[in-house]
Amino acid sequence: MQAGARAMAAHRARALTAIAGREPYFGQGVALYVQDVSVSFDGFKALNALTLTIAVGELRCIIGPNGAGKTTMMDCITGKTRPDSGRLFFGSNIDLLRLTEPEIAQIGVGRKFQKPTVYEQLSVFENLELALKADRGVRAALFHRLSDAQRGRIDEVLALIHLQHEAQRTAGLLSHGQKQWLEIGMLLMQDPKLLLLDEPVAGMTDEETERTAELFLSLEGRHSLVVVEHDMKFVEQLTQGRKRVTVLHEGGVLAEGLLSEVQANEKVVEVYLGR
Ligand SMILES: Nc1ncnc2c1ncn2[C@@H]1O[C@H](COP(=O)(O)OP(=O)(O)OP(=O)(O)O)[C@@H](O)[C@H]1O
Ligand SMILES: [Mg+2]
């Protein structure tokens, strides 16, 4: 049993070294390539030959009715769910189907779930510090001294997420929206190339929602972002009348185009917007 655990740990260490030396290649302009991905749950097709490409630095909004497969798509990209068939590439060279969930996170794919998961008892600053040194244990990380560059990066992220005046505040005392921003900040500490955000503004006030849109717009370019949302005002703010959105329905792409175009699309109105 112990030997088995040691062998597993050794295997894991070797695998991590292998991917550490294998950087995703973005030279062809593709951040994420989803090709013909299908997943069934008890015979029900949650994803049905889904095909989608996200460009480097792109901010793509994905909309669609409940049960369309939006969250399942993120589960497949992050390795939480294994597709029955299809291909998933990060950059043009990393086959995500060959990596485990932690390896996918380590290679530069960050994911934000709907419910914020911050360390409530720690300060905002300490949460970011921990995220920066996620490879150490909590105690070891907090006792480990920060370099000037690391401190600088935390200050930069604090400014991005509008929490520079709350740095010493206990995270548990933040508003719901601020906790969401802190969690996004924690993801940013790892400098992910691709960020997946599932309903990031659910439960936020209008003002928090607007600020979140500003935050995402400021991340566009440096990161690729895939944002799933039902809040159309938010999607409108993110797309600025010029970005493409994707409409998912029954596990596939129903329509893709400018928000104004998909809003005028009869099929889209029928299954989603006209409700
Ligand atoms: N682990 C699972 N086991 C069984 N069925 C699942 C599982 N995960 C998802 N499903 C089903 O797959 C379909 C797609 O679900 P998914 O959560 O991806 O939809 P969604 O587009 O994110 O919807 P929403 O807008 O409500 O969040 C749904 O019918 C759901 O019930
Ligand atoms: Mg969902």
Nearest partner of 179 among 221, 240, 117, 135, judged by Cα = 117
Ligand 1 close to Cβ of residue 68 (< 6 A): yes
The pLDDT confidence band at residue 74, using thresholds 50, 70 and 90, is: very high
Contacts of 164 (CB under 8 A, 6+ apart): 155, 158
Could you tell me the distance, in angstroms and rounded to a whole number, from the CA of residue 199 to the centre of ligand 1?
Answer: 14
Could you tell me the distance, in angstroms and rounded to a whole number, from the CA of residue 9 to the centre of ligand 1?
Answer: 33
- What are the φ and ψ backbone dihedral angles of 102, each rounded to 5 degrees? -65, -35
Closest atom, ligand 1, to C-alpha of 199: 27
Contacts of 231 (CB under 8 A, 6+ apart): 201, 202, 209
- To test the ligand 1 pocket, which listed residue (38, 39, 40, 41) has its Cβ within 8 A of the most ligand atoms? 41
For residue 63, give the ligand nearest its CA: 1
Could you tell me the distance, in angstroms and rounded to a whole number, from the CA of residue 216 to the centre of ligand 1?
Answer: 25
Using alpha carbons only, what angle is made at residue 226 by residues 223 and 227, rounded to the nearest 5 degrees? Answer: 120
Least confident of 1-15, 144-158, 252-266: 1-15
Whether the predicted pLDDT of 131 surpasses 60: yes
Nearest partner of 227 among 81, 110, 86, judged by Cα = 110
CA-to-CA distance for 45 and 76, rounded, in angstroms? 14
Q: What is the mean pLDDT of residues 78-89?
A: 97
pLDDT of residue 9: 67
pLDDT of residue 21: 53
Residue located via tokens 């049960």: 67
CA-to-CA distance for 94 and 32, rounded, in angstroms? 10
Residue located via tokens 């989803």: 34
Give residue-wise pLDDT tens across range 23-43.
899 999 999 999 999 999 999
Contacts of 25 (CB under 8 A, 6+ apart): 91, 92, 93, 94
CA-to-CA distance for 102 and 137, rounded, in angstroms? 16
CA-to-CA distance for 206 and 203, rounded, in angstroms? 9
Of all residues in the chain, what percent carry a pLDDT higher than 70?
A: 88
Nearest partner of 197 among 170, 175, 225, judged by Cα = 225
The amino acid that residue 55 corresponds to is A
Residue located via tokens 């095909």: 51
pLDDT of residue 142: 67
pLDDT of residue 14: 55
Ligand 1 close to Cβ of residue 81 (< 6 A): no
CA-to-CA distance for 87 and 160, rounded, in angstroms? 34
pLDDT of residue 87: 98
pLDDT of residue 146: 85
Ligand 1 close to Cβ of residue 41 (< 6 A): yes
DSSP E strands, 124-237: 194-198, 224-228
Whether the predicted pLDDT of 275 surpasses 70: no
Using alpha carbons only, what angle is made at residue 264 by residues 44 and 37, rounded to the nearest 5 degrees? Answer: 30
Least confident of 79-83, 129-133, 176-180: 129-133
Element (H, E) at 86: strand 85-90
Comparing 225 with 137, the larger pLDDT belongs to 225
Whether the predicted pLDDT of 189 surpasses 80: yes
Closest atom, ligand 1, to C-alpha of 72: 18
Element (H, E) at 15: helix 2-20
Least confident of 80-94, 106-120, 184-198: 106-120
Ligand 1 close to Cβ of residue 63 (< 6 A): no
